[in-house]
Amino acid sequence: MVHIERNFAGDPHASHGYWGPPTSVANFCEEDYGVTYWVAEVVNSFTNLAYVYWAFKTLSPGERLWSSTAFPNVALFFVGVTSFAYHLTLKYSTQICDDLSMFWVCAAIIYELYTIDQSPTARLLFGSTLTVVLSVISAAHYKMYQLWLHNTTFILLVTAIWPRVLFLIHRRFQGPEKQYWLGRFRVGGLCFLAGFVVWLIDGAACGWLRDARNSIGLPWAFALELHGWWHILTALGAGYCIRVTKQLTRGSGSA
């Protein structure tokens, strides 16, 4: 039996929006088509511009989004685009694109972090293995119509990032430079943790949040669309992580 993990499947306008009834496995606290006929979740859609902004903001001087060194930036850019499409439509196909983009932005960072100073052959082997493993998981996730595999994989990928970053900062930097980049990474980690907390609250306290939004009215009610804050905070966290990763792969320099 298919288990639909949806907070509010019965929103009054959900079946009458431009993109049709939601088919995604997950649905969030923002009321479906509550603002406009054209966009399923307005705040959850447009806060994804934060990912696009940080994809460009974290490019190194002279680097372009299509540069061979900018794979993490490209991956973050597609997180923004696919997540926008997902919250715009609430369709299963766009949800899958969003889910998989989260895998690949982590994979891009992991590849950079774990292949520092490795030979071309070792880099190719590591990248190929990571690609094959995530491709199999991605295919299974698409077929199984659930969230647990996605959530578990994403947690494991994030967990592979932060210890490696800390190890490399301590190994490659000294003195004030080390303290600076440790501070940058801590800020990014705290942003990501704060985003996770508001994501949990958005699901656990959705009824209260909806009542509060109805009481205060627009535009202030938008501030209580907590999944949108997840987008903003995790975009900021990812931006800091990419910036630190680029500094580590260069091996020297400062802000």
Q: How far apart are CA 111 and CA 181, in angstroms?
A: 20
CB burial of 31-44 (b: ≥16 within 10 Å; e: otherwise) equals bbbbbeeebbbbbb
Q: How far apart are CA 238 and CA 243, in angstroms?
A: 8
Angle at the Cα of 182 from the Cα atoms of 110 and 169, rounded to 5 degrees: 55
Domain ranges across the chain = 5-250
Percent of the chain with pLDDT over 70: 94
Q: What is the mean pLDDT of residues 61-74?
A: 85
pLDDT at residue 33 in the model: 93
| Residue 227 assigned to a binding site | yes
**pLDDT tens sequence across 78-133:** 999 999 999 999 999 999 999 999 999 999 999 999 998 889 999 999 999 999 99
pLDDT at residue 168 in the model: 93
CATH 1.25.40 applies to domain 5-250: no
**pLDDT tens sequence across 198-234:** 999 998 898 899 999 999 988 899 999 999 999 999 9
Q: What is the mean pLDDT of residues 163-173?
A: 92
User: pLDDT confidence of 10, banded at 50, 70, 90?
Assistant: low
pLDDT at residue 4 in the model: 46
| Residue 231 assigned to a binding site | yes
User: pLDDT confidence of 252, banded at 50, 70, 90?
Assistant: very low
Q: How many CA atoms lie within 13 A of 192 on its CB side?
A: 17
pLDDT at 251 over 50: no
Mean pLDDT of the chain: 89
| Residue 31 assigned to a binding site | no
